[in-house]
Structure 1
Amino acid sequence: MQKELEEAYGFLFEEELLKEIAECGTLKEVSAGEKIMEIGEFVTGMPLLINGAIKILREDDDGDELLLYFLERGDTCAMTLTCCMGQTKSEIRAVAESNTTFIMVPVGKMEEWTAKFRSWRNFVFESYHSRFSEMLETIDALAFLNMDQRLIRYLRDKAKINRNENVLSTHQEIAYDLHTSRVVVSRLLKKLENDGRISLQRNQIKVIDL
């Protein structure tokens, strides 16, 4: 675990903090599509990503999901941090976007490290800032972008986060993430294909020019 930590967070944390994370953290591996955190669960730990990617989702009163943002190597979830510090239930759902490895750090260490390590404080504040900015982008997209623009943004982000021009998602999965219907997604994807910007394949979409 120490080696993975140094590769993913060595540029952020001092050696003593890395050592403490390795001593108290639990290394976990999950497969793509597996739930890591559920809405309504008490948060007992905070994930530090080593490899892979996680998508963070909210749910409305009707049970429909909305994608808030993605997490990748070197990230953590600011909303999880908030629940950890306040010892409250999770308000988000975290799902592995790809096969993912992360270290789960106990809630009890959050406040201790904030007081003890400057690098941890900076990491927490930067995480809040980054995730808040990403949520503002999501709100702006909902308020100001057409669905075709939101779809392009979504495909671009998925390709970037997975470092793969082939987006492995069905039309229905995309519809869930964008809080729209599969029919709308299929129609817009077909238009993008006709424009030469993507190539539609079985259960995946090749990004060509977005």
Structure 2
Amino acid sequence: MEFSEYFPVWDKLTPVQQQMLADNATLRAVPKGTVVHNGSADCIGFLLVRTGQLRVYILSDEGREVTLYRLFPRDLCVMSASCILRGLQYDVTIEAEKDTEFWQIPAQRYKALMEESAPVANYTNEVMTTHFSDVMWLIEQILWKSFDKRLAAFLLEESALEGSPTLKTTHETIGHHLGSPREVVTRMLRYFQDEGLVKLSRGSVTLLDPDRLQALAED
């Protein structure tokens, strides 16, 4: 089963455990924009990404979004099964940023495997620790870093992910990632354009001077 190539501790499972996991992992394919998980009451199980990209974010009562982290091929999503993980009762939304395939593993089945397999438990704890570190880093950025630096860093990260200096995105989408109103994003992007850092077009942002953006992000 191809699943075995994506699950990092597959070789450390017994044949019985491997069979149980293989029998219970369901491969799903969703198009870009699909909300895969919505809130702590929506406990769909653990997700192991095969292809594509998932975005994990929080949503305020006023409708503002902040991206916590992304999930890429071979990444395990634990927040979609937070109902069975003590201390992880958070209302997060998980959305497909690209057409995505992932294996869905029932929460209780995976929990049982964690209880009898130290490698699986250790791997899952490492994933949770990594995600917690990502969130703490984000909090530090929001609290201590000015918006122009955060925006510069975001544009560079997006360009690296897409492998292109031209980003097919909107000011509203950028605002959702950074937790800022669209108007704030627009003003800062226009300032970047006036400074020769980017070029703005309808539905896209092109990075003109990545070196200066990098210097701004690191300043």
User: TM exceeds 0.5?
Assistant: yes
Q: Which residue of 2 aligns with 1:181?
A: 181
Unaligned runs of 5+ in 1: none
> Larger Rg: 1 or 2?
2
1:108-129, CA deviations, whole angstroms, 9 ceiling, x for partnerless residues? 1122211333331222011011
Equivalent residue of 1:27, what SS? strand
Unaligned runs of 5+ in 2: 215-219
Q: Which residue of 2 aligns with 1:111?
A: 111
The within-5 A match list for 1:163-178 is: 163-178=163-178
1:19-40, CA deviations, whole angstroms, 9 ceiling, x for partnerless residues? 4333111111111111111125
Does the Cα contact within 8 Å between 2:83 and 2:89 map onto a contact in 1? yes
- Provide the TM-score with structure 1 as the length reference: 0.85
1:123-173, CA deviations, whole angstroms, 9 ceiling, x for partnerless residues? 201101110110011100110011111112222333344455443321111
Distance 1:81 1:43, change over 3 A: closer
Distance 1:20 1:197, change over 3 A: farther
Q: Which residue of 2 aligns with 1:79?
A: 79
Q: Which residue of 2 aligns with 1:130?
A: 130
Equivalent residue of 1:102, what SS? strand
Residues in 1 aligned to 2:178 and 2:149: alpha-carbon distance in whole angstroms? 11
2:10 aligns with one of 10, 13, 38? 13
Which amino acid is the alignment partner of residue 91 of structure 1? D
Shift of 1:72: 1.0
Which amino acid is the alignment partner of residue 124 of structure 1? T
Residues in 2 aligned to 1:87 and 1:144: alpha-carbon distance in whole angstroms? 27
Residues in 1 aligned to 2:119 and 2:100: alpha-carbon distance in whole angstroms? 25
Does the Cα contact within 8 Å between 2:82 and 2:89 map onto a contact in 1? no
Equivalent residue of 2:124, what SS? helix
Does the Cα contact within 8 Å between 1:42 and 1:89 map onto a contact in 2? no
- Provide the TM-score with structure 2 as the length reference: 0.81
1:43-96, CA deviations, whole angstroms, 9 ceiling, x for partnerless residues? 031111111111111122323221111111111234334323359976100011
Residues in 2 aligned to 1:162 and 1:8: alpha-carbon distance in whole angstroms? 22
Residues in 2 aligned to 1:129 and 1:200: alpha-carbon distance in whole angstroms? 38
Does the Cα contact within 8 Å between 1:42 and 1:87 map onto a contact in 2? no
Percent of aligned pairs with the same residue?
22
